[in-house]
Structure 1
Amino acid sequence: MDAFDDLFRGVRAHGSLFGSTTLRAPFSLDFVDGAPLTMCTVLRGSGWIVPENRPPELLRSRETILVRGPARFTFVDEVGTRAEPIACGVDCADPEQGGTRHRFGWNDCGVSADEADTTTLITGAYPLRGEISQRLLDALPVVLRVDDGPECDPVLDHIAAEVAIDAPGQQVVLDRLLDWMLVCTLREWFDRPDGEAPAWWAAQRDPVVGEALRLLHAQPAAPWTVAALARQAGVSRSTLAKRFADVLGEPPLTYLAGWRMTLAADLLVEQPAATVAEIARTVGYSDPFGFSAAFKRIRGVNPSEFRRAATATAATGFALAGSAARTV
């Protein structure tokens, strides 16, 4: 288990909206869902991603752009296109609307992907699950682009082959391919010489800090001290403390406390029957009062208040989603 594994586990393509759309200019797809993270890849042709309040980004064949929500964005043949926008969401769009259909897992396009002068766009909208995945999203810019690269090439080939058929189990296959594609895209972007990778990404490759991070993420509930971490990493206590703070900008136990509270925040929502004392023990606190004090110090509210607010927010979201579904 490493930091990237932990942060990525809440961002999954399970049941996500997958779109395979073949278009002929002029075209304008308006992505209105505001998904936390949307991956857009052009298999052939080209187009422009136009985010709200951001400059347009040209997307050529076998290039990928990630758009972080909740702002909407459009995909157009040319900036200022004369095409009428088609609103794209979970029920986008009927075949008669420009000859395209977005479905869960497969496509039924009125325009043949083999025809000349067409653009084929693959999209995957990722749902966001909890505080853990929010840490990953917070490390990303609103628009992140990755050109065609050797690591993502095989995934694109598999995706192109899968969307060309309609077979049982296709949603599961596409979910896994989207996860693979997202990991490849993020790796390539974080590893760019001119990239702006978060501190924890580079820290994983540090021989001292990387080992300490691995231990903290593998056993977050263990009674860690700086001395114990240093012994495991094979360095002195002072060396670990200084190296960790230099690389990550905070001491090891401060990082651990923040990570424990992130885990606890998700557990409070995911396990509504669990008591605060049970959640406290799960993340390494034997005393629920000490846990509650630490949670409030870091999160600004106590665990019970956080659970009530998060549950109410989730219920409101479900109600709005249900209302929207009934109107289509």
Structure 2
Amino acid sequence: MEPFDELLRGVRADGAGVRRVELSGTRALPGMTMYAVVAGEVSVRDVTAGPGDVLVVQDSVAVHGNASVVSGTYDVLGSVARRLTGVLPDAVVAPGTDGCAEFYGSLGTDESSVVADRLLDWIMVCALREWFDREHDSGWLAALADEVAGPVLRAMHDDPARAWTLASLAREAGVARTTLAGRFCRLVGTPPLTYLTEWRMALAADLLAESPATVASVARQVGYADAFGFSAAFKRVHGVSPSECRTRCAASA
């Protein structure tokens, strides 16, 4: 699975339904919010979306406009998906194509809530995917497209439980260890093995929240033979133990 696809995994509407909104003035909503523009314009700072475009804004970012839109607000679920908010800017516009505005305008409230949610999910994912394909010139996105860092990121995401070393990761990229370390750190902002640990802990947090697997089982799934070593790494990254993480997730469910 592509790393960016994994980030989209937990971006799901849940009971929001298709909401046709007549937007006037300024509005800020909690959570990640999507506006599929039917008519008029919606703007955030220096970003503007017109008919057929999709605007996605981060948590509580104010939008301005006089427009008819189909809107949905999202909770970004899970540690893996929450990494998406670190990749995205405050506002993303995915340009529409012929017929998009008409299609958005045809969405009504007759669909069941499940069907409506999935329609919103489809629009949201298509918009973020289009933005990702278009905007990958800096940060994590640049690393994913890079000929050295990209293969290493994909290898870690494809098989996080493998006993990766800097040498084995460098072989995935076909470069020396020093070349990989310098290039990866410059593009991603952390050394390769630090990124691997953080990725494993994000996966582990989701496994603890979503499954009844024991801590030892989760540890093995993310590459730790020793549950104690896993627990220490988990607490170092998340600030709580695996058991505390599971308890908090259960309490907030």
TM-score when normalising by structure 1? 0.66
Aligned residue for 1:290, secondary structure, equals: helix
TM-fit CA distance, 1:262? 0.6
Structure richer in helix, relative to its length: 2
Residue 296 of structure 1 is matched in structure 2 by 235
Answer yes or no: is 1:217 the counterpart of 2:157. Answer: yes
Aligned residue identity for 2:149: V
Aligned pairs for 1:158-307 (under 5 A) are 158-161=103-106, 163=107, 166=110, 171-172=114-115, 174-190=116-132, 199-271=139-211, 273-307=212-246
TM-fit CA distance, 1:65? 2.5
**Distance across 2 between alignment mates of 1:306 and 1:65:** 33
Aligned pairs for 1:1-328 (under 5 A) are 1-13=1-13, 15-21=15-21, 23=22, 34=30, 36-46=31-41, 60-69=50-59, 71=60, 77=66, 119-142=67-90, 144-146=91-93, 148-150=95-97, 156-161=101-106, 163=107, 166=110, 171-172=114-115, 174-190=116-132, 199-271=139-211, 273-312=212-251, 314-315=252-253
Cα–Cα, structure 1 residues 147 and 186, in superposed 2: closer, same or farther, change >3 Å? closer
Q: What fraction of aligned residue pairs are identical, expressed as a percent?
A: 45
Aligned residue for 1:235, secondary structure, equals: coil
Q: CA RMSD in A?
A: 3.2
Cα–Cα, structure 1 residues 290 and 124, in superposed 2: closer, same or farther, change >3 Å? same
Whether the aligned pair in 2 keeps the contact of 1:155 and 1:177 (CA below 8 Å) is: no
Aligned residue for 2:73, secondary structure, equals: strand
TM-fit CA distance, 1:28? 6.7
- The C-alpha deviation readout for 1:4-44, integer Å capped at 9, x for no partner, is 111110112354332124x4x9x579676x2x211012212
**Distance across 2 between alignment mates of 1:219 and 1:16:** 34
**Distance across 2 between alignment mates of 1:257 and 1:28:** 45
Cα–Cα, structure 1 residues 140 and 311, in superposed 2: closer, same or farther, change >3 Å? same
Residue 103 of structure 1 is matched in structure 2 by none
**Distance across 2 between alignment mates of 1:247 and 1:135:** 16
**Distance across 2 between alignment mates of 1:265 and 1:137:** 17
Q: Does 177-186 or 2-11 show the bigger shift?
A: 177-186
- The C-alpha deviation readout for 1:71-124, integer Å capped at 9, x for no partner, is 3867764xxxxxxxxxxxxxxxxxxxxxxxxxxxxxxxxxxxxxxxxx532112
Aligned residue identity for 1:305: E
- The C-alpha deviation readout for 1:219-265, integer Å capped at 9, x for no partner, is 11111112112222222333222221221121111100000001111
Point out where structure 1 has 5 or more consecutive residues left out of the alignment. Answer: 78-118, 316-328
TM-score when normalising by structure 2? 0.83
Point out where structure 2 has 5 or more consecutive residues left out of the alignment. Answer: none
Flag the structure with larger Rg: 1
Cα–Cα, structure 1 residues 223 and 60, in superposed 2: closer, same or farther, change >3 Å? same
